[in-house]
Structure 1
């Protein structure tokens, strides 16, 4: 169990769709889940996808108001009228940009024992579920920004101290 280094914008692993977890009980998958939980636990972190720590598997953890959970092979459902919310990302540190998200979301998947997991909610939970599933599909949240906001975001990101040129 280790808090892992988070991959930053520009790392190709963040643009790659992840593969399904085929053997949830495998020791490597269990270690991945432990690392996802350890890495999402610090305050201010709402969610973390496996590819954000360099692992190309469909798994993520969430930390909503101190309630930490995880899911393997999530399938996303959304409902409601999309609304504009401010959003940030551990892989794009220090920035928050407005983007559209559905007000309710649910993911269904499995845990390391193969049992069904259902995570659902409104507000930050809905936002985190959509955000993390986007990561697993190889998409960063900035892809969903309005064009002018995205141009401004890209300018700001390129000037960030952490951005590798």
Structure 2
């Protein structure tokens, strides 16, 4: 495993749509392990592969010792609305209010290539939306809440 440098705002990889993962290999699993290690070291609660310069559709999240790794995640259901403060490891020192869906159902692959669905609300829903946005080149500052 390795701790990667986190790419900062201004790096073009953060504004590029990440590529779908076609095959899950041991290299993919090692990358996910390194993403967790990088996220914990930062410290953060979520990380997307583009944030470490790798244009692949992979995210990791850990809230309260419940690690989640998703490959090719997509939001398949969403409802409600919540406004909350967000920050980002790629934009150090900046925080802002962002409106997100209150509930999301996300479908993706686990590290063994099995399809999984995660139903989430509140902070986990926010984190999933934030990290999936990274895969599409969207940063939280693009979604600052305006009353």
- TM-score, normalised by the number of residues in structure 1: 0.82
CA-to-aligned-CA distance 1:14-48 (integer Å, 9 cap, x gap): 00000100011x23212211111212224851110
Structure 2 residue runs without a partner (length 5+): none
Give per-residue Cα distances to partners, 1:76-103, cap 9 Å, x unaligned: 1343322211111110111210011111
Structure 1: tracts of 5 or more residues without a match: 150-165
Q: CA deviation at 1:132?
A: 0.5
Show the counterpart of 2:21. 21
Q: Distance in 1 between matches of 2:144 and 2:79?
A: 19
Give the root-mean-square deviation of aligned CA atoms: 1.8
Q: CA deviation at 1:55?
A: 0.4
* Aligned length in residues: 147
Cα distance between partner residues in 2 of 1:55 and 1:130:
19
Alignment TM-score, normalising by the size of structure 2: 0.91
Q: SS of the counterpart of 1:21? A: coil
Asked whether the 8 Å contact 2:58–2:69 carries over to 1, the reply is: yes
Q: For 1:28 and 1:111, how far apart are their aligned partners in 2?
A: 14
Q: Give the match for residue 96 of structure 1.
A: 95
SS in 1 for 2:30: helix
Q: List structure 1 runs of 4+ shifted beyond 6 angstroms.
A: none
Which is greater in Rg? 1
